[in-house]
Structure 1
């Protein structure tokens, strides 16, 4: 998944900030599970499928167009009809139209049973009373969901003590890694054995630049990210927006990221690389990424978010063999977990049946593989018991269903792996998640309302400085002090004090 840089998230948060004030006094929604006839399941048992009237579950998500989307929904419905007497309708929205269309759907009376949510959208939807509290529904109809999660991970989505969405089970953790072209490493006999920290990359980058002058040595992980972005979000708990972070995951001490020695040191290194020509001169403004450069045979490396399978997946995108080295231990924060979740809107006409469906998305491999990969024999073919590839005559250009968004729907670890992935991907992912360093603030959600004015000013300042500094375009010796001074003038100290206050209150009531 691709994350945006901090000021972009901040801008989105501020758009919804006024709505968050409704959290404390929003209209209560009855979350007691009901069956399709409107009768509460007082004995706590789930009705048998034969006892339930037919129902169509509308699942709303974003993604690229898929010609066979309705065919996949029909196959999914065969499973859900047998198990919960419900059919499935997959409602796809173009990613570029997602914010606008999802808001319209939730504010109208249109039936929406299950919707993708996360980040600031989640906070906004909870504040507006658009999502149902799910705790009772989980107990009644979501026991497989509860079993699939570590308790602290499932609890990370709670707002004011209540669960309003269920995270998808995927890569909850990440570490900072550097991906480099294997052919060039081998060509110049370069070893990664001695690369332990950021500055150790200089020796490798120097050789590549001297011998391959037309190569863009280091590119951005995504168009919206800086060179330093992936380093920051994989080593710190950014507490949602980078404006007040936890450098020590064991302590609930919020600090100004931009005043830390670690941030200053990172900027010095990136500036040195920029001046040496390792980073493209228009990196701060260009939408070109390292994947674009490497695929076009004019790129060498990128700093990325590490997880099991990350190398193979990037190799598949770049069509190039890559080597990797990790620069730290994997961490898990609230931001990692709550970025992609599924919630049941108040627009649902049968929340209980929808929870039964969500429970199946976290427990039924056949259903999970259908929504992740499509129909066997038509969209994929098995190459082993757990691995798949395109069927003969089918590829990414002509497949009727090639969504590849398994990280969005339920338990991804139940699905097949693609032929280009490592065979034990999901087992390694489960261990990777479990062994990650958990932030002491796991489950904390920040309410920006008390400092919304300051955050608006801070957003303008970060937009002016952060991308240029974190790509090496601006000299940090001159401009970092200016950045910090402008942040203070905008009120960052007040914001950090407010975030610390909320964090302390959360810890006390945890």
Structure 2
């Protein structure tokens, strides 16, 4: 009897322990355990685009993880991938079994296709359960503009979603030769500037745009078309119809001007094949400037990359395209072993000022110092930072400190800039390429063969442009445009 009482007590003790443990590890609605801050933190791997090696990345990652571990019992593993290899490498990661939780996705890198193929996790339910704070700060039209087949697969970065086009250049050279930028009202007015630089500074190429960024023609034709990610059928701002941009007069004129500049020696000779970012070429002392889409504070941003004081000329209105929503997003990969925790990390990137400033600017006191007026600068005695991060691609940039040279109300200026934008007639439209995927694949091969060469001025447009358009049509471009127009018309009705 005594032995029975002892056994009974032991069984009751074990049952109580089991119940306590069960209470401490409740199942979440998704079937995963909620750790409530207990247990080993889940490591969220995050792939993003980089153009330069960041020496102090491990130090910054360590500081970020002190906060992230405390708040959501997770850590972040930052996975930088060079922009030149980004699409290929992330596609390999998504199609394989490599551990990947978060990645920067983009309409430039096949966001719609990745979503349609099931390589990305639909985020609608996760936003409501693990990302509620994002819904409070992110404008609704950006989320709506990011849907593929009615579902959200990426959270757009909060940055400039309007942009204007222009040319940015070294300020010291402008001042050295008394170049009057007030006389530059149009792209063709830059002829006189390029001529001076070519003659006076033969070691500096006036235009160093390469295939790794905005080509000369991309900028010259900016504001005329919404290219909808792949440029295989673009919406004309003028007619609001789907057109073959490569045959439109605005594009042809831009190509001819790019060719004229190339022949004059104003454009980098290997611009069509160079894998180097334009800003890095200026930093290396080989370039004067480059064309780009711009925003408030662009000169300060580029100074941090090039190491030179920069000055720019604005040559277009402010436009907002569909890629303002789909251009740079954080998505959850289908490979993720814990999508809920990955969404909690995204949630922090839109709400936590400390995390975003670490990611964007590095460690206070080492990579920057805060000035009394609320802007930041390099710490005293530091000539160049060992941490330069492309923050525009990730999270809520409105939480970050503006750099010295910008006003303290920089983000208010950015809001006004965004509000002034002329929106694309196709803003919010996403194309499902499945009905014409064979034609899209064939046409993309043609694009890869011709486009950069034509748009940098390297190829003679009199010969190459007709060849380019013929091969696009042979690949099925007209069928692609018809399908896009059909989907676009249906979208507009809704």
Same structural fold, with TM-score higher than 0.5 when normalized by the shorter chain? yes
Given that 2:215 and 2:456 are in contact with CA atoms closer than 8 Å, whether structure 1 keeps it comes out as yes
Distance 1:395 1:186 in 2: 22
Distance 1:220 1:457 in 2: 27
Answer with 129-138 or 256-265: which moved more. Answer: 129-138
Distance 1:201 1:192 in 2: 9
Given that 1:274 and 1:471 are in contact with CA atoms closer than 8 Å, whether structure 2 keeps it comes out as yes
- Within 5 A, what are the aligned runs for 1:412-491? 412-419=397-404, 423-491=408-476
Question: CA, structure 1 residues 170+446, in 2 after alignment: closer, same or farther (shift >3 Å)?
Answer: same
Offset of residue 55 of structure 1: 4.3
Name the residue aligned to 1:40: 29
Q: Secondary structure at the match of 1:324?
A: strand
Query: Which one of the candidate residues 288, 292, 295 is aligned to 1:307?
Result: 295
Alignment TM-score, normalising by the size of structure 2:
0.81
Question: CA, structure 1 residues 477+156, in 2 after alignment: closer, same or farther (shift >3 Å)?
Answer: same
Name the residue aligned to 1:260: 248
Given that 1:216 and 1:293 are in contact with CA atoms closer than 8 Å, whether structure 2 keeps it comes out as no
Offset of residue 82 of structure 1: 4.5
- Within 5 A, what are the aligned runs for 1:3-14? none
Q: Secondary structure at the match of 1:303?
A: strand
Answer with 318-327 or 207-216: which moved more. Answer: 207-216
Query: Which one of the candidate residues 326, 346, 352 is aligned to 2:314?
Result: 326
Name the residue aligned to 2:138: 149
> When the two structures are aligned, how many residues end up with a matched partner?
466
Question: CA, structure 1 residues 112+302, in 2 after alignment: closer, same or farther (shift >3 Å)?
Answer: closer
Alpha-carbon RMSD: 3.5
Query: Which one of the candidate residues 42, 51, 61 is aligned to 2:47?
Result: 61
Answer with 95-104 or 134-143: which moved more. Answer: 95-104
Distance 1:215 1:453 in 2: 44
Given that 2:165 and 2:292 are in contact with CA atoms closer than 8 Å, whether structure 1 keeps it comes out as yes
Name the residue aligned to 1:122: 111
Q: Secondary structure at the match of 2:145?
A: helix
Name the residue aligned to 2:227: 238
Answer with 136-145 or 149-158: which moved more. Answer: 136-145
Structure 1: state its 5+ residue gaps: 1-34, 42-46
Alignment TM-score, normalising by the size of structure 1:
0.79
Distance 1:236 1:76 in 2: 40
Given that 1:221 and 1:302 are in contact with CA atoms closer than 8 Å, whether structure 2 keeps it comes out as no
Distance 1:210 1:111 in 2: 53
Name the residue aligned to 2:11: none
Offset of residue 237 of structure 1: 0.6
Question: CA, structure 1 residues 58+36, in 2 after alignment: closer, same or farther (shift >3 Å)?
Answer: farther
Given that 2:74 and 2:341 are in contact with CA atoms closer than 8 Å, whether structure 1 keeps it comes out as no
Name the residue aligned to 1:89: 76
Given that 1:166 and 1:342 are in contact with CA atoms closer than 8 Å, whether structure 2 keeps it comes out as yes
Offset of residue 252 of structure 1: 3.8
Given that 1:49 and 1:83 are in contact with CA atoms closer than 8 Å, whether structure 2 keeps it comes out as no
Answer with 49-58 or 462-471: which moved more. Answer: 49-58
Query: Which one of the candidate residues 262, 268, 274 is aligned to 2:262?
Result: 274
Given that 1:176 and 1:306 are in contact with CA atoms closer than 8 Å, whether structure 2 keeps it comes out as yes
Distance 1:466 1:108 in 2: 30
Task: Determine if the alignment matches structure 1 residue 200 to structure 2 residue 189.
Answer: yes
Question: CA, structure 1 residues 124+414, in 2 after alignment: closer, same or farther (shift >3 Å)?
Answer: same
Task: Determine if the alignment matches structure 1 residue 76 to structure 2 residue 64.
Answer: yes
Given that 1:240 and 1:446 are in contact with CA atoms closer than 8 Å, whether structure 2 keeps it comes out as no
Distance 1:295 1:71 in 2: 25
Structure 2: state its 5+ residue gaps: 1-23
Task: Determine if the alignment matches structure 1 residue 386 to structure 2 residue 374.
Answer: yes
Given that 1:235 and 1:328 are in contact with CA atoms closer than 8 Å, whether structure 2 keeps it comes out as no
Question: CA, structure 1 residues 224+170, in 2 after alignment: closer, same or farther (shift >3 Å)?
Answer: closer
Distance 2:407 2:35 in 1: 38
Question: CA, structure 1 residues 67+184, in 2 after alignment: closer, same or farther (shift >3 Å)?
Answer: closer
Given that 1:295 and 1:320 are in contact with CA atoms closer than 8 Å, whether structure 2 keeps it comes out as yes
Highest Rg: 1 or 2?
2
